[in-house]
Chain A
């Protein structure tokens, strides 16, 4: 599948705080791309940069093979988004909100189109009700209708299940799967819950403190037989060059040393191979599976929170 989003060396600094740090990733057409990280990891800042709401300090974003910042309108015309809470104009009705945002999306708006969208999210009967009378779940559904009304090819959902009840969460999951599988949309969905992402995403990116931790296919990253092996050598650059010309060429992260995703049983053979290639090994650390790794990040934060309380 061709790349639909290509992010390279994206960095965002707010004065002394680096919210996103040299982040690179690719989203392919048709992907449900899970964007995972704790609260404050930099997910929302990255998503806001994808929607040109936040200007990057450095780096590049290409969407639909176009530079986002020079072809902003063309890109956004094909993009729909729900960004955190679905905040809409409370003093307007569901119909008026949807009509207004559909107009802004640059499409021909008819009453039928608006009513069809409201029907799709189960709000047709409340079309004339003011949004201030809606529950959180209804607002979220209306937010989805706003994101989809112009039939975009790319849908960006930032924490779409926040504040929803269990039924609402299940409905949201089904909708995302339907958008991808039946309608062929590309969906970028962020969450701080691995359990949410692993059910729907076919590709996953985990970030922590603004940096990429791991990116890959969900089937591989979630496979317990795959182990993330972190290697330190006396000369990492030379070691990477040698490994890339060997059977161990699946280097997935070159930013903080060398990391390989591999079967744990293969580690002795890797060591033998590296010795044969005259790579001076300092350490080889097999890390937890993705799930354990993500939980360890979460626990780390909880410990900090416990101390600060």
Chain B
């Protein structure tokens, strides 16, 4: 299994397509950082709208490395599934279309091991992608914009998290994002086992994620009650929960607190369940598959 995993990792990181995702992410984050360096004040002023009239905002202090990273993650994490699908959607079907799947499956390794090795190799790719995102969006932003308290806006209020209370929240948020992206990877893997070409699973994964996200976000009661709890996308944005800090009776934020930890844990449990379901289905389907490509 370990040998098979090493081989799958080797194959993933020998493909030029793999580095496309890293390139796109880097370019995107640099663009946001450049935009905020030049027009950060205008952007934040626009985002805060009427709040500007009610209070004086120290823009220089608000636009710090932590806030920039939070803004990047808000914009970026919705699009990372596309980059995950780019690699995971190709992992079985790409071999089928290339003709190497029959060589691989005719070797003395079980089909379950092949699928699990491919999943774990994809998981490593997702992990490295998120570490790279963390590095350039957090550490590079801290270098460019410096550090200060993080201001987080919720629908009804603004919350300030002290500088010393922020970093662990980012580690937790990236950990959560890793699990969320693994769901996308597992879904892509499942679709990849059903197809003989790479484009189908990649497009299908992106389509499913977009459709489910739209339904999850629709404020229609019947959808919210009967469909939303069963959509994996309903749990994917739970990382934000780590930045929703509690208030005490004097309306001051409590250091180290999280407003709704049970909701975050519930989201993690739901996402892990989806990963297990998708990977198990992939193994079952691949074990029964006639390799005709």
- Using a CB–CB cutoff of 8 Å, the interface residues on chain A facing chain B are 14, 48, 51-55, 72-77, 79, 81, 83-85, 87-92, 96, 100-101, 103-106, 146
Q: Which residues of A contact B109 (CB under 8 A)?
A: 73, 104
Q: Which residues of A contact B15 (CB under 8 A)?
A: 91
Query: Once the chains bind, are B107 and A76 in contact (CB under 8 Å)?
Result: yes
Name which residue of chain B comes closest to A79, CB basis.
B106
Name the segment of B66-74, B131-139, B213-221, B285-293 touching the other chain.
B285-293
Q: Which residues of A contact B11 (CB under 8 A)?
A: 89, 92, 100
CA distance A84 to B16 in the complex (A): 27
State whether A104 and B4 are in contact (beta carbons under 8 Å apart), knowing that A73-B109, A76-B106, A89-B11 are contacts in the complex. Answer: yes
Query: Once the chains bind, are A54 and B107 in contact (CB under 8 Å)?
Result: no
Query: Once the chains bind, are A53 and B100 in contact (CB under 8 Å)?
Result: no
Query: Once the chains bind, are A101 and B103 in contact (CB under 8 Å)?
Result: yes
CA distance A14 to B7 in the complex (A): 33
B contacts with A, residue count (CB < 8 A): 24
Query: Once the chains bind, are B100 and A87 in contact (CB under 8 Å)?
Result: yes
CA distance A53 to B290 in the complex (A): 6
Q: Which of B14, B107, B110, B291 contacts A105 (CB 8 A)?
A: B107
Is the C-beta of B256 less than 8 angstroms from some C-beta in chain A? no
Is the C-beta of B102 less than 8 angstroms from some C-beta in chain A? yes
Q: Which residues of B contact A106 (CB under 8 A)?
A: 108
Query: Once the chains bind, are B105 and A53 in contact (CB under 8 Å)?
Result: yes
A interface footprint on B66-109 (CB within 8 Å = 1, 0 otherwise):
00000000000000000000000000000000111011111111
Measured CB to CB, the closest approach of chain A to B127, in angstroms, equals 22
Query: Once the chains bind, are B16 and A81 in contact (CB under 8 Å)?
Result: no
Query: Once the chains bind, are A53 and B102 in contact (CB under 8 Å)?
Result: yes
Query: Once the chains bind, are B103 and A72 in contact (CB under 8 Å)?
Result: no
Query: Once the chains bind, are B102 and A146 in contact (CB under 8 Å)?
Result: no
Query: Once the chains bind, are B106 and A53 in contact (CB under 8 Å)?
Result: yes
Is the C-beta of B10 less than 8 angstroms from some C-beta in chain A? yes
- Using a CB–CB cutoff of 8 Å, the interface residues on chain B facing chain A are 3-4, 7, 10-11, 14-16, 98-100, 102-110, 288, 290-292
Query: Once the chains bind, are B103 and A83 in contact (CB under 8 Å)?
Result: yes
State whether A103 and B106 are in contact (beta carbons under 8 Å apart), knowing that A55-B288, A90-B98 are contacts in the complex. Answer: no
Q: Which residues of B contact A77 (CB under 8 A)?
A: 108
- List of 4 A-B pairs having minimum Cβ-Cβ separation, nearest first: A87-B99, A73-B108, A76-B108, A104-B107
Q: Which of B3, B16, B107, B110 contacts A91 (CB 8 A)?
A: B16
13 contacts between A and B (CB under 8 A): A51-B102, A53-B102, A53-B105, A53-B291, A54-B290, A81-B106, A87-B100, A90-B98, A92-B11, A92-B14, A96-B14, A104-B4, A104-B108
Q: Which residues of A contact B3 (CB under 8 A)?
A: 103-104
Q: Which residues of B contact A89 (CB under 8 A)?
A: 11, 14, 98, 100
CA distance A53 to B110 in the complex (A): 11
Query: Once the chains bind, are A103 and B7 in contact (CB under 8 Å)?
Result: yes
Q: Which residues of A contact B98 (CB under 8 A)?
A: 87, 89-90
CA distance A48 to B293 in the complex (A): 11
Query: Once the chains bind, are A100 and B10 in contact (CB under 8 Å)?
Result: yes
CA distance A85 to B108 in the complex (A): 21
CA distance A251 to B10 in the complex (A): 55
Q: Which residues of B contact A55 (CB under 8 A)?
A: 288, 290
CA distance A146 to B100 in the complex (A): 12
Measured CB to CB, the closest approach of chain A to B250, in angstroms, equals 62
Q: Which residues of B contact A103 (CB under 8 A)?
A: 3, 7
Measured CB to CB, the closest approach of chain B to A158, in angstroms, equals 10
From B15, B106, B108, B290, residue with most partner A Cβ within 10 Å: B106
Query: Once the chains bind, are A100 and B291 in contact (CB under 8 Å)?
Result: no
Q: Which residues of A contact B288 (CB under 8 A)?
A: 55
Q: Which residues of A contact B14 (CB under 8 A)?
A: 89, 91-92, 96
Query: Once the chains bind, are B290 and A88 in contact (CB under 8 Å)?
Result: no
From B10, B11, B288, B290, residue with most partner A Cβ within 10 Å: B290
CA distance A91 to B10 in the complex (A): 11
Measured CB to CB, the closest approach of chain A to B56, in angstroms, equals 57
Q: Which residues of B contact A85 (CB under 8 A)?
A: 99
Measured CB to CB, the closest approach of chain A to B272, in angstroms, equals 30
Measured CB to CB, the closest approach of chain A to B223, in angstroms, equals 38
